[in-house]
Amino acid sequence: MVDVWLPYGKTDVCVRVPARNLLGAIDPVDRPAAADPKAEVERALKNPIPVGSKRLSEIAKAESKVAIVVDDHTRRSPSETMLLPVLAELNLAGVKDENITVIFGCGTHRAVKPEEAAVLVGAESFRRVKTVSHDCRAQDLVNAGTTKSCGNKILLNRIFAEADVRVLLGDVGFHYYAGYGGGRKSVLPAVCGEETIKQNHALLLHANARTGVLEGNPLHQDMVEAARLAKVDFIVNLVENKKGDVVKAFAGDLEQAWLEAVKLVDELYRVTIDRRADIVVVSAGGDPADLNLYQAYKALDNALDAVKRGGVIILVAECPEGHGNLVFYEWMTRFGDIKNVEREIKRNFVMGGHKAYYLLKALQNHQIILVSSLPDYYATSIFKLKTARAVNDAFAEALKIAGSASRVWAMPQGSYTMPVFVAPEETKT
């Protein structure tokens, strides 16, 4: 027997797998953090991508009105780490603090509360510059044009659209349907109108709108075109390790700097495997990744390419906060069928509904056993999952379903790892 330890909430649980069954563990690369995150951002600002391009202090003029988009309260992006060096760079150009506005890119989310704002940007930045939350339903949105690929009318936040210099701050990681976060995503959905966001997000039904995929991804392409129409001048994006510590900063061009960050994300978190298992035991990675089912689903989604069609996925996630999203819950309750969910996404997309779509899609081809503190009624009746209170009970059940000779992958950090199956003959070419 091999003892495999899996994060669960703020502790760990052990699943015992016969050595003959275990293929191994799929883990991300553990890259050390930058010694000084702020200094790392300053380095990136002084060396914009591409090489030889203008620094932010050279783009901005003393009289410039500057708009800076940062993530809202729904993301744990280290905005404070980026913002102070960016303000210093703008001050170097002669830009006064009173001419700088920080916009929380709320997309369709609620406004950021003042106490949240002070934490997100840091006390010093909050004191120095004006902060506002984007309202996707505002009446004074600016029409920046229409995307060629999707015919999406890009309605933008007025402060952002009318600024002389537009800057995006964010972090880059895998994303369900945009392929990767960061970059252009700080325009669409972050500071766009509700109808613009809905039309874009309805594209998630496309086969190429998935994690780690940019080529042929219409949703990503629509976002890129939106950011071009918005005339973004400069970005600062960070890549973090699995502990959430800054590894490297990237600054400069909207697309080129971001694509360099994407390469690092792949180096750290994309793991090639040469065979799929009958059973995958995947942990979301413990607290905070498994606070609720809505968050923990990311680990399940990442595990899909590591398991055979018809195989079993054991999701180990404490979920002390329950399902975690009312729209996710309501769509599972009201629709409960993938065709109905697809129709609703096309007709009236609402954030949260996409999780219902992805879960129902996963259930079409796999059996899923959830090990959590979520009441069985919710797990089975609403979310259509099998349940077990202990991971070894779940494993025993999985062996009954898939067979005693089943091969098994373990994924201790499922929310941060993306296995990619490549057949051995493809590896040779």
pTM above 0.85, yes or no: yes
Domain segments of the chain as ranges: 2-27+270-428, 37-240
The span from the CA of 75 to the CA of 69, in Å, is 13
The span from the CA of 409 to the CA of 21, in Å, is 9
Q: How confident is the model at residue 163 (pLDDT cuts 50, 70, 90)?
A: very high
CATH no., domain 2-27+270-428: 3.90.226.30
Report pLDDT digits (tens) over 167-188: 999 999 999 899 999 999 999 9
The span from the CA of 24 to the CA of 419, in Å, is 13
Distances (CA, A) of 421 to 277, 302, 392: 10, 12, 26
Distances (CA, A) of 223 to 35, 146, 216, 257, 400: 33, 11, 13, 16, 45
CB 360 within 8 A of CB 327: no
Q: What pLDDT is recorded for position 426?
A: 55
Query: Comparing C-alpha atoms, which of 158, 371, 365, 169 is closest to residue 276?
Result: 365
Confirm whether 2-27+270-428 and 37-240 share one CATH topology: no
Tokens 């979301």: give the residue: 284
pLDDT mean over 338-348? 91
For 301, phi then psi, to 5°, come to -60, -40
Asked if residue 349 has pLDDT above 90, the reply is no
Report pLDDT digits (tens) over 85-137: 999 999 999 999 999 999 999 998 889 998 899 999 999 999 999 999 999 99
CB 192 within 8 A of CB 154: yes
Q: What is the mean pLDDT of the chain?
A: 95
Q: What pLDDT is recorded for position 30?
A: 85
Question: Which CATH code, of 3.40.50.11440, 3.30.1330.10, 3.30.590.20, 3.40.50.300, is assigned to 37-240?
Answer: 3.40.50.11440
CB 235 within 8 A of CB 168: yes
Q: Give the other-Cβ count within 10 Å of 403's Cβ.
A: 11
CB 106 within 8 A of CB 112: yes
Q: What pLDDT is recorded for position 323?
A: 94
Q: Give the other-Cβ count within 10 Å of 205's Cβ.
A: 18
Q: How confident is the model at residue 429 (pLDDT cuts 50, 70, 90)?
A: very low
Q: How confident is the model at residue 336 (pLDDT cuts 50, 70, 90)?
A: confident
Report pLDDT digits (tens) over 287-333: 988 999 998 999 999 999 999 999 999 999 999 999 999 999 999 99
